């Protein structure tokens, strides 16, 4: 076979399993009975081709090459009498299971792509005019990611001077946690910005943020947001 037959772009494959599936399909072989020697040879040839094209070859491709070679060698070994019971398992089994699972998800991904995607195939109304006042029902619960993002924005906005500060105030995380819970019990809900902007100095700001994260982790509080980048409201769980 000429090298030309392997001139193929790496980026058309979503990973080593995808390349392997392609080879199985191309050779029209049964996925449950993969001719390991043939497929391994072709797989390694592809990888060499990619390397010679100076393509940035992800390490995962090499891992699978090693796995294939290992399976191939195991299949060459005669089954010895003593180990017969242990060796009953087909050395290809784990790989086939992984391939089938990957194939199922690859098809699911194609299925998602065929759906009518908002902003690509179908459209809603553009949000014009004032955003309707949202009540609690339309609030979305948010996770750490949004909180960290909001925190980053606040830290950036406060733009505190980089003065050296000697911390005289003794602070503990559990004190901040208790303060926040007390405040929430009194007032029902608090906004993320309220909590952080009243924090004062940077040290306190960070302690407050850590306290919020800890409370979320413990599921004592929940954070909600009406729209992305909107006001984040914090509630006690179960209130």
Partner 1 sequence: MDNLKAIIEALIFVSGTPITSSRMVGIMEDVKEKEISSAIDDLVREYEERNGGIFLREVAGGYQFRTGETVGSWVHKLKGQKPAALSPAAMETLAVVAYRQPVMRSEIEKVRGVDISGTLRGLLEKNLVRIVGRKDVPGRPMIYGTTRKFLETFGLKTLSDLPTLREFRELGE
Shortest distance, CB of residue 172 to partner 1, whole angstroms?
Answer: 22
Which residue's CB is nearer to partner 1, number 145 or number 156?
145
Contact 96, 31 (CB under 8 A): yes
Name which of 204, 123, 217 is nearest 160 in CA terms: 204
Residue 206 burial (CB count, 10 A): 16
Which residue's CB is nearer to partner 1, number 2 or number 137?
137
Residue 106: alpha-carbon gap to chain centroid: 17
Shortest distance, CB of residue 59 to partner 1, whole angstroms?
Answer: 8
Contact 37, 72 (CB under 8 A): yes
Shortest distance, CB of residue 202 to partner 1, whole angstroms?
Answer: 26
Which chain residues interact with partner 1 by CB under 8 A?
14-18, 32, 58, 60, 64, 89-90, 93, 96-98, 100-113, 115-125, 127, 131-132, 135, 137-138, 140, 142-146, 217, 228
Give pairs for 205-209: CB < 8 Å, separation 24+: 205/154, 205/155, 205/158, 207/171, 207/173, 207/176, 208/176, 208/180, 209/147, 209/151
Which residue's CB is nearer to partner 1, number 87 or number 183?
87
Shortest distance, CB of residue 190 to partner 1, whole angstroms?
Answer: 22
Distance between CA atoms of residues 64 and 113, nearest Å: 28
Burial (CB < 10 A; 0-12, 13-18, 19+), residue 137, is: exposed
Alpha helices by DSSP H, listed for the chain, are 16-26, 36-52, 59-76, 93-113, 144-158, 173-187, 192-197, 202-217
Shortest distance, CB of residue 20 to partner 1, whole angstroms?
Answer: 9
Shortest distance, CB of residue 210 to partner 1, whole angstroms?
Answer: 16
Which residue's CB is nearer to partner 1, number 5 or number 63?
63
Shortest distance, CB of residue 111 to partner 1, whole angstroms?
Answer: 5
Burial (CB < 10 A; 0-12, 13-18, 19+), residue 68, is: buried
User: What residues are paired with 40 via a beta bridge?
Assistant: none
């Amino acid at each position: 076979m000429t090298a030309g037959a392997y001139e193929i772009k790496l980026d058309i494959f979503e990973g080593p399993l995808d390349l392997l599936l392609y080879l199985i399909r191309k050779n029209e072989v049964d996925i449950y009975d993969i001719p390991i020697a043939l497929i391994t040879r072709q797989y390694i040839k592809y990888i060499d081709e990619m390397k010679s094209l100076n393509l940035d070859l992800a390490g995962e491709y090499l891992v699978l090459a090693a796995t294939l070679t290992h399976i191939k060698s195991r299949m060459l070994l005669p089954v010895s009498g003593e180990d017969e019971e242990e060796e009953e398992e087909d050395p290809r089994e784990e790989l086939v299971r992984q391939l089938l699972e990957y194939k199922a998800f690859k098809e699911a991904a194609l299925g998602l792509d065929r759906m009518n995607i908002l902003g690509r195939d179908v459209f809603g109304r553009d949000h014009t005019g004032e955003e309707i006042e949202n009540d609690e029902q339309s609030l979305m619960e948010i996770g750490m990611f949004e909180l960290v993002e909001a925190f980053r924005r606040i830290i950036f906005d406060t733009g505190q001077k980089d003065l050296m500060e000697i911390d005289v105030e003794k602070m503990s995380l559990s004190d901040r946690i208790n303060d926040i819970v007390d405040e929430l019990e009194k007032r029902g809900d608090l906004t993320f910005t309220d909590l952080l902007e009243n924090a004062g100095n940077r040290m306190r700001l960070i302690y407050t943020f850590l306290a919020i994260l800890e409370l979320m982790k413990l599921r004592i509080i929940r954070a909600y947001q009406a729209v992305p980048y909107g006001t984040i409201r914090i509630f006690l769980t179960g209130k």
